Structure 1
């Protein structure tokens, strides 16, 4: 466990008889923006966990609804000091929120940071299910149920030639119940602080889109990133969706449409930084990303409204490619060794 005195002064309690808690301090980092009802459900599920997290950091991205009221109502329902309310003055997007949430979690002495959007619920035995995997791996994704209770489809792995995550297999898990990947999602990524130290905080410049996939890819250069056959979350926010068999396509906001193309440049910069950029393949991957987004417009949203955002994002990505001052997120100073 971390030598941080804030962590050492907060012992866990309430474990079921016969259940061994995960090794180290677990901090859930939630990012929320104007979805107070969903946040309320998520905090209710966190309170019902049979193995509780040590801390819950809530990053409020300058919400204008009653999010702060919901946080205030739930704070006293947890043991003293568990809920940490971090309200930002401006909306920094999911990327900025997770960067801040991870920073605060490590400052509080987290050994593990569980990154979580506000539109999921935690299943009660999630940390019991994670515990054996936490003894083996340092970056872990569990499975999720969809809104209707069916297994949510997620099976992404970066194709480094194209620079895009693609479905990688019909049969996902090996005989031991996990699959190695190099992509990720902040809808449930569990990451060890040692890995965060080596790769730095999530990059807030992404704002939204590609931030989580790239963060897991960076982690995969340091350690194995795994997807385990354990259901730990359930999605709660309904979206328009089309099942294409090998993947699902959801609807997306204009902001997401813009950033999914603009942020291709950030993906490319990180690939280049680590000697993994194939310019021909990456250009093809960018074209395929644009085509996929057009398919999303036609098949899911039944029109071409949003084409302008896609094109503008692609164009603005050139500025990121041309920025000679660009630097990747820096590694962090090592934590104080445990005593």
Structure 2
């Protein structure tokens, strides 16, 4: 299962899931993904500070002006990316005709034609004379117009499902904890907020129905966006916090249910999530990496569950009946000094502590109660 999708909320975004693309070892951890409903596999006798990676990143930035996401057969994606990178990696600028001509020429050659029959690609282009998206390959492509997300294009087996989720969110209420000063200096604010809201809702769908594989979710997304300088870049990290508010027990407040952190590093992307009394990791290398066994070390002094951006998902329910969650986002501030409302650290014994800003939490719970009061009639 794979999904690569492109939205256009003022600024273009390209996102790709982190699903298993290569064979892995045989022992299972407690962390579960749609692609591995019995748990992510880990090798017998593995060293606690080292974790194996059998997932692959499927989105790439090729210079400041070109980004690509690919679905399909791994070996064929590698061949296409090699050709595309060789042609455009070192260019500081190019015209639209150059990229369209490359796609035509590549698909016209026997070797390239064989590759394109096995893959699908979405390219985000910032050419000297044009900006937009291009698609290619034989993998099924889906497209829709969204009031909130603009023109949406998706490819892969999860393409239809992500479009369904986007359609449901067109009329959905969304909030953010702060709006940065001088939005003209940070035009990617609204773009990132909308797409993080989408990712939070997809994560919520997976959490709310663990018995049903949500094939538009691979545990996390690698996300590429165009910044205010017109360059494509990766979102380096984000932390999602899931909390529960039960209308039958409002005095209990918003209870912490789970959290996970996504982080992109040079050689791989990873997600870390607490399960029972330990932290569980899974990660993804680039599709361009070889298939030999590979490990990396994540040292305690380098690990934090904090991120530049925190996404709080508040699940509002009465008994076992749930409403759409409320979502609050903090950290989207161009100065890097945005008000943080979620804090994490590790105590002297290595236990994870999660703290919430008291004043903000009081305000947030008021929003939750108001939201429930306005929509309680929809719960049977």
TM-score with structure 1 length normalisation? 0.30
More strand by share: 2
Structure number with greater Rg is: 2
TM-score with structure 2 length normalisation? 0.28
More helix by share: 1
